[in-house]
Structure 1
Amino acid sequence: MILMAGMIGTGKTTVAELLSQALDTETFYESVGDNPILPDYYVDPKRWAFPLQIYFLNTRFKTIRQAMSHENNVLDRSLYEDLIFAELNYEAGNMTKLEFETYSDLLETMMEEVGAGNRRPDLLIYLDSDLQTALHRIKQRGRDYEQIDLHPELLHYYTTLHGKYREWIAHYNKTPVLVINSDQFDIYNEQDANELVALVKSTLEELQLATV
């Protein structure tokens, strides 16, 4: 099992699909388009932060459990990075201390469940990117509730999120990690795409040898 991680706009879903095709396996997606809470959260984060975090946590837990029933797969996001968003909401005053502690305890229980025994994911691929590239991709994606032009306060949120992600990956130790600078790969370019796939394959081979 391969997990993708990285800030909004780093290309997680696109890379996940590339790897799934190259490795002849299945992609499991985060539920965003049909998320009934996300648009409301962007309008009133204090009201919707806690329900949103629980919604994400539940859907990501279901997805990773579903993925575990398959021998090989790629997840475009997982619950391992979920705490980043909860911390942002708590620090911004959108979640109470009790809500944050309740959420954190539930997250830890779920991570213990999916990481037990030989079910631990094989590799987490962290897609790094500079902030401006991520913001450009967010704009290209075109979801109204993510756009800085429509919601200027999001610039501070994205800037803080970018720093939080880099802090998180520096201390992450739940699974093996491969850090890829997504600014250096244009995966719509065949040569770049092949180089990225080769890097992932060689990392998986090294990990397999290390466990023999």
Structure 2
Amino acid sequence: MSVIVLAGMIGAGKSTYTTLISSELKSKAFYEHVDDNSILEKFYDDPRRWAFSLQIFFLNTRFRSIKEALVHRHNVLDRSIYEDALFTRINYEQGNMSEAEMTLYTDLLDNMMEEIDGMPKKGPDLLIYLRGSLDTHLERIKKRGRPFEQVEGNPELMNYYKRLHGRYDDWFAEYDKSPTLIIDIDEINLEREGDKVLVMQKVKEALKKQQQHV
């Protein structure tokens, strides 16, 4: 039974990697709710009004996903509950959330993490960090073309991306729920067949190593 979670900033390619890995391992894929999220676009338009609502939406859906994932046989999640606090902290620091909202969110997250710790399987088998330069992330955000994610003419959004990107390595350094694997998205391009093969080799080796230590 292998539970894999993808981690990385907006535009890292988590959904694409999830599709590849879940297909190759014949496992279930869990995707972030974007297309059916009525709050996301509102957040980009007015972050101070919608940041707290958005983070609660994501926290709820990711909690549901990780609970389901930890009892399934094989699955891959394109983002997990473990990163949520980083996004919330950035929104708080930028003034998009009040201290009361931040406290409420943190208490709720702590309660959810206690629930996860009480499950027979307490965490994923592998976290894959898709790490790259800010330029690479911005290029991919532009390429996928969601209008509300674009930075042109929106310095506040650019500042949000810069701050988020600048904090990811620190978040990853503190992550301790499972073994990890770093994939350099500046070098790896899943549009190249050889890179797909290379990624799967790395994933399978990391899972094999983890299973040997269980």
**TM-score, normalising length: structure 2:** 0.95
Alignment of 1:72-91 (within 5 A): 72-91=74-93
Distance across 1 between alignment mates of 2:44 and 2:162: 16
Residue type matched to 2:134 in 1?
L
Percentage of identical aligned residues: 50
User: 1:111 and 1:144 mapped to 2: Cα distance?
Assistant: 34
Cα distance in structure 2, aligned partners of 1:56 and 1:78: 9
Give the match's secondary structure for 1:31.
coil
Deviation string 1:115-164 (CA, Å, 9 cap, x unpaired) is 33424211111110100000000001111110012533211111111011
| Contact 2:44 2:148 survives alignment (8 Å) | yes
1:56-95 deviation line (CA, Å, top 9, x unaligned): 1001111122223320000000110000111011101111
- The CA distance in 1 between the partners of 2:42 and 2:6, in whole Å, is 26
Runs of 4 or more consecutive aligned structure 1 residues displaced over 4 Å after TM superposition: none
Where does residue 71 of structure 2 map in the other structure?
Answer: 69
Alpha-carbon separation, structure 1, partners of 2:144 and 2:45: 19
Deviation at 1:114, TM superposition (A): 2.1
Distance (whole Å) between structure 2 residues aligned to residue 44 and residue 187 of structure 1: 34
Runs of at least 5 residues in structure 2 that lack an aligned partner in the other structure: none
SS of 1:184's equivalent in the other structure is coil
After TM superposition, give the deviation of residue 189 of structure 1 in Å: 1.0
CA-CA distance at 1:110 after TM superposition: 1.1
Range that drifts further, 61-70 or 181-190: 61-70
For residue 39 of structure 1, what is the aligned residue in structure 2? 41
Structure 1 Cα separation of the partners of residues 210 and 90 of structure 2:
33
Cross-structure match for 1:149: 152
Output the TM-score relative to the length of structure 1: 0.95
Give the aligned partner of residue 194 of structure 1: 197
State the one-letter code of the partner of 1:143. Answer: R
Question: Is the Cα contact below 8 Å between 2:47 and 2:96 reproduced in 1?
Answer: yes
